[in-house]
Structure 1
Amino acid sequence: MVADQDTKTGLPFVSIINKRTMTGTLSSESGRFYIEAVPGDTLEFSMLSYTSRLFTVPSMSSTHDIYLQKRLFDLQGVNVKGKNYHNDSLAMREEYGRYFNYKKPGAVDVLKTLPANPITALTYLVPSKARKRKEEFKEQLVYWEKEKYIDYRYSPEVVEKMTKLQSPELDSFMLKYRPTYQFLNSASEYDLLLFIKQSFEEYKKSKAEK
């Protein structure tokens, strides 16, 4: 498990990279993860706002908890504002750029590579575990980015202002009526507020019927 150094709670969406194979994965919501490695491999654990950590896989098979330390920032003279999704997204794409930009080799890649390096070209035609892991990791990163976008627009502050609900009821409402990425990606602010209003009307109606 990978966890916060101070709270000892699991950290979700931590990037774990095997430096030898350059394959990676993300930790689950509880901080648990699985990655293929052999003794001597170096694993890199990184997450925004935390100091990256390297871990060498020991010779004997065992489980290890990895703790990450939060990075401290000097906020003196700085106006602290709410999270900016666009900045977070750009930072994540910069950090994991090689995975976001990864494209599965196609027929064009084979034809381009064939004259100069036929062996490499042929490997493009054979299923590869490493390529599959990169594709899966990219899918995880894209999923995480979409979830952060939903959190950015469908925030507790906005929903609370529209519904006057307070936690924990607010949390339950937001989870039950959480909008999809597809909807939010094309919805205006008016569309979102109308969605929350209509969802709240439905919520009150279903609550009264119980």
Structure 2
Amino acid sequence: MKRLFSVTIILMFLGGLSHAQTTLKGTVYEQGTNKALDNVFIRDNNTRQVSITDKNGKFEIQTAQGHTLIFNSPGYAADTLYLIDMRPKKVMLATTSIALNQVTITSTRPDFNPRVEYPEVYEKSKVYVLSPSTWFSKEGRRARKLKKYFRYEAEQRQIDAAFSRSYVGSIVPLKGKDLENFMTMYRPSYKFLRSNNRESMVAYINDSYKKFMALPPDKREVQPLN
């Protein structure tokens, strides 16, 4: 009887493990247009598993019922999904009012060190000459795509720090919505940031301010993406 009880417990435990390792599939679209979105970053808030959508907006991620997934993409409002079942999901992301470079202006985002937070992504992204499987495996391709996303995110955070609201506001006499519009329209690129010093940044901001004020009032408003 004890042996039968032990076997039952083991089977229940194994069943729980298999449930925990379920692959969730789905597609991410732009709300209002049903356009499939690629390069949407997906993170399981319970396990730190990560994934990213392909060119058709499709994704796969190891997760389980009761977990919360977070969806992020530049130019779109982040969204969360609480899993009550493992059926394929259709996720809709709403656009934000940010245009041009399609990034969110903020100087308060926490430090981001993906090499520390997601070392497995960097390990899986490696390509070995004598191991063809590392060239073409789905897991390897996804890891390399995630690595590019992490690099982009790190670059944007560096721009945030150098082109912060407090810093720009100390140079130009703009406030509130006008300052936000100005910073969105004239946000520098990462390439510019890397090839210029602080004095060049001040000159760039002052020159951009003159261009901004020369625009008709209606042209100083940032238009929504859609």
Identify which of 99, 103, 127 aligns with 1:105: 127
The reply on whether 1:160 has 2:173 as its aligned counterpart is: no
Aligned to 2:118: 96
Seen in structure 2, the aligned counterparts of structure 1 residues 200 and 159 have a Cα distance that, compared at 3 Å, is same
Does structure 1 residue 36 correspond to structure 2 residue 60?
Answer: yes
Aligned partners of 1:15 and 1:45 also within 8 Å: yes
Amino acid aligned to 2:206: K
User: Deviations 1:60-104 (Å, cap 9, x if unpaired)?
Assistant: 445699xxxxxxxxxxxxxxxx85x8x8134x4311233246544
Number of equivalences: 154
Counterpart-to-counterpart distance in 2, 1:177 and 1:93: 30
Aligned to 2:207: 198
Counterpart Cα distance in 2 of 1:63 and 1:34: 9
Which among 127, 142, 150 is matched to residue 133 of structure 1? 142
- Take 2:63 and 2:161, find their aligned partners in 1: how far apart are those partners? 41
Task: Specify the alignment match of 2:188 in structure 1.
Answer: 179
Alignment partner, residue 78 of structure 1: none
For the pair 1:145 / 2:169, whether they are aligned, the reply is no
Aligned equivalents of 1:171 and 1:57: distance in 2? Answer: 39
Aligned-residue CA RMSD (Å)? 4.1
TM-score, structure 1 normalization: 0.56
- The one-letter code matched in structure 1 to 2:52 is T
Shift of 1:158: 1.2
Where does residue 101 of structure 2 map in the other structure? none
In the aligned structure 1, how far is the partner of 2:170 from the partner of 2:111? Answer: 25
Residue 194 of structure 1 aligns with an amino acid whose one-letter code is: A
Unaligned runs of 5+ in 1: 2-11, 27-32, 48-54, 66-81, 111-120
Residues 147 and 156 of structure 1, relative CA distance in 2, 3 Å threshold: same
CA distance in 2, matches of 1:101, 1:196: 40
- CA 1:122–1:187: 2 relative to 1, 3 Å: closer
Task: Return the structure number with greater relative CO, CA threshold 8 A, min gap 6.
Answer: 2
CA deviations over 1:8-55 (Å, ceiling 9, x no partner):
xxxx96634897xx66238xxxxxx963158858967589xxxxxxx7
Q: 1:103 to 1:131 in 2, by over 3 A?
A: closer
1:192 and 1:38 map into 2 onto residues whose CA distance is 44
Contact 1:102 1:134 in 2 (8 A): yes
Structure number with the higher strand fraction is 2
Cα deviation digits, residues 170-200 of structure 1 (max 9, x gap): 1111111010001112321111111101111
TM-score, structure 2 length as denominator?
0.53
Structure 2, unaligned stretches of length 5 or more?
1-27, 29-39, 72-81, 93-106, 220-226
Q: 1:132 to 1:44 in 2, by over 3 A?
A: farther
Following TM superposition, by how much is the alpha carbon of 1:133 offset from its aligned partner in structure 2, in angstroms? 0.9
Distance, in Å, in 2 between the alignment partners of 1:195 and 1:38 is 46
How far apart in 2 are the matches of 1:41 and 1:133?
23
Residue 25 (structure 1) aligned with residue 52 (structure 2): yes
Amino acid at match of 1:128: S
